[in-house]
Amino acid sequence: MYYCYYKAPFGKLLLTGNRMLESVHFPLNGKKKKPGLDFVYSEKIFLQTLNQLESYFKGELTRFDVKFNISGTSFQKKVWQELEKIEYGETISYGEIAKRVGNPKAARAVGMANNKNPIPIIIPCHRVIGKDGSLTGFGGGLEIKQYLLELEKINE
């Protein structure tokens, strides 16, 4: 497994994968997440992702076009596909995603699928909010979620 870091405005993102991107990890408590002991540092397979992240954080990129390989249940994959359809700068509720995947009562399950999203930012789970418009759970923490949403609002 290969890894590299991307220096985001809020800390270092850990990117991992074999032939292509498989996961993105947020820093924990302001400290970069460490790769597995047998991981090998290489930016080569992540160049496309690194370039697109740079453009995203500059406000120049509104939709990622990154090759990735992720695994999950069929329900998780349906949810993640819906997340990719959320437009830059827009937000949507967990309940609305549940409707779009054909299970209107599955808002909690959508939340769990969001939580398992292996490549946040690329698959924009930060754009999913509570029914009342509140910011709710996010793997990187609510401060990072708010930062990403504000970044997108500024650059719309």
**CA separation, residue 48 to residues 19, 123, 138 (Å):** 12, 15, 25
Q: Which residues of 118-130 are buried (b: 16+ CB within 10 A; e: fewer)?
A: bbbbbbbbbbbbe
Which amino acid belongs to residue 37? L
Q: DSSP letter for 28, please.
A: B
Is 4 labeled as catalytic in the residue annotation? no
Q: Taking every pair of C-alpha atoms in the chain, what is the biggest distance, in angstroms?
A: 44
With residue 8 as reference, give the H or E element that holds it: strand 2-8
Query: Cβ of 113: how many Cβ atoms within 10 Å?
Result: 26
Catalytic residue of the set 24, 125, 129, 149: 125
What positions carry a catalytic annotation? 125
